Amino acid sequence: MSPSLGRSAARGAMFTLGAQGVKILLQLLSVVTLSRLLTPHDYGLMAVVLVIIGVGEIFRDFGLTSASVQASELSSGQRDNLFWINTGIGVVLAIVMFVLAWPVQAFMHSPELVPIVRVLSVTFVLNGLTTQYRAQLMRALRFRAMAVIDIVAVTVALGSAIVAALLGAGYWALVLQQIVSCLALLLGAVATGRWLPHRYSRQYEIRSFVRFGWNLVGANLLSYGGKQVDTLIVAGRFGTTPLGLYNRSYQLIMTTFSQIRSPLSNVAIPVMSRVQRDEERFNTYVVAGQIALGYGLGIPIALVAGLADPVVQIMLGSQWTQAAPYMRFFCGATLMSTLAFVGYWVYVSRGLGSQLFRYSLVELAIRVVCIVVGSFFGMLGVAAGVFVEPLLSWSLSIYWLSRITPIPVKALWLGGFRILGLTGVVTAVSWLTASSIHAGAWLTLLTGIGVGAVAVAAFLIVPVYRRDARELVSFIRLMLRRDR
């Protein structure tokens, strides 16, 4: 591993994770503050619109961020052309969303949705303008700049929303928050990127980028659609109150850890793309990525799974105690999907967009089958189906990748099983501790964390776990080391 590139990767991970940590804290502050100033109806209106925006954002990016980042060479002319394509897609989506305002209102029977949908359609234009600026920052490994931009955007947007809510703006405070965030991201990226696009020119070929991006669009649409299957089934079969329990526990676990995990792609994909022709170095990154993600996120996930009851009482309140069993299944699903996440890095960094699309089709089919079958056993069955799908997909992902590109199969299997062994024990001992203590939620939580930490330390007796620990410590030191 090149020391310079290694330091860039590790320090990029530090900046990215640090920024994401701040963003998560700001999001929690947003929930605590704005939920006291706005009504559930306000949030419900915004939730409907955000579902539409979520689908549109997949088309707006068109996979061209990843396409430009992973390309071994990218001329200034190609960059300019990609900028205008993303901007054009954003304009088209804004027009489509503006027109869809009336059908959405008719479907939901909420007249307030018409102005909300139309105003928020501008976010597609703003994000379209931002896309290639963000891609160039990623390509240049300027992770510190991206971290600062993200934090400033979230902070300014939250402040605007709080002021608007205090002035009685209602759901318009949430609308303002979205627009200010997009605008701040655009201004920050333009100021940091320091380049202005020239006009579109056919002289610069970008068909390969578009083909790569289209496959990513298909894969991301399948992934997004698959994530909605369980919500639709729970809503249709069990009603809104059970759906509230299910969604709240889902958001608390899977969404939170996903927000920690996903931004690391901004670091991993550019770095792995640079070494994709060096098989030995590439495989080193793949194995190191699984170990870092598996232990770094796996141990906290295991603790939450074992201590789900006090976690629910502290985070959600005693009225949400029925959410604890769902949380345990979602913790298992999050851990398994984390182990498989490095496979996505391999697909994108090696330019395997079409193969990723085909794999996503199979993965979606597995998810639908698991959730539908689980639904016959009640809501816990649905949650169990959500867990079983990544359990199967992790195994399939390693096999699938090994058939199309060289990967360190044995190292990934062994590393994954070591992580599962440790996290399984941590979950068990923390759960037994919580079950045997009849005290307050905070005391139970702290005691369970302490016992779980002792269990982790006990694994260091085993040489292979000491080796994994040394790799993690080396990675942390690399993050903190400055270039000389």
CB contact burial 449-479 (16+ within 10 A = b; e otherwise): bebbeebbeebeeeeebeebbeeeeebeebb
Amino acid letter, 103: P
Distance CA 89, CA 111 (A): 28
- With cut-offs at 50, 70 and 90, classify the pLDDT of residue 480: very low
Model confidence over 196-247: pLDDT tens digits? 887 776 777 777 776 766 666 776 776 676 777 776 677 567 754 565 567 6
Model confidence over 364-417: pLDDT tens digits? 889 889 999 999 998 899 999 999 998 888 888 888 888 888 888 888 899 889
Query: What's this model's pTM, rounded to 2 decimal places?
Result: 0.65
The sign of the torsion formed by the CA atoms of 289, 294, 296, 301 equals positive
More confident residue, 111 or 3: 111
* Residue-by-residue DSSP string for 337-406: HHHHHHHHHHHHHTT-HHHHHHHHHHHHHHHHHHHHHHHTT-HHHHHHHHHHHHHHHHHHHHHHHHHHS-
pLDDT of residue 235: 56
Least confident window among 61-70, 303-312, 374-383: 61-70
Percent of the chain residues topping a pLDDT of 90: 23
Distance CA 446, CA 453 (A): 11
pLDDT of residue 481: 47
Backbone angles phi, psi at 111, to 5 degrees: -60, -25
Model confidence over 137-181: pLDDT tens digits? 877 767 778 878 888 898 999 999 999 999 988 889 989 999 999
Per the prediction, the chain carries an average pLDDT of: 80
Element (H, E) at 11: helix 3-37
Do residues 445 and 311 touch, judged by C-beta distance below 8 A? Answer: yes
Amino acid letter, 451: V
More confident residue, 40 or 313: 313
pLDDT value at 482 more than 60: no
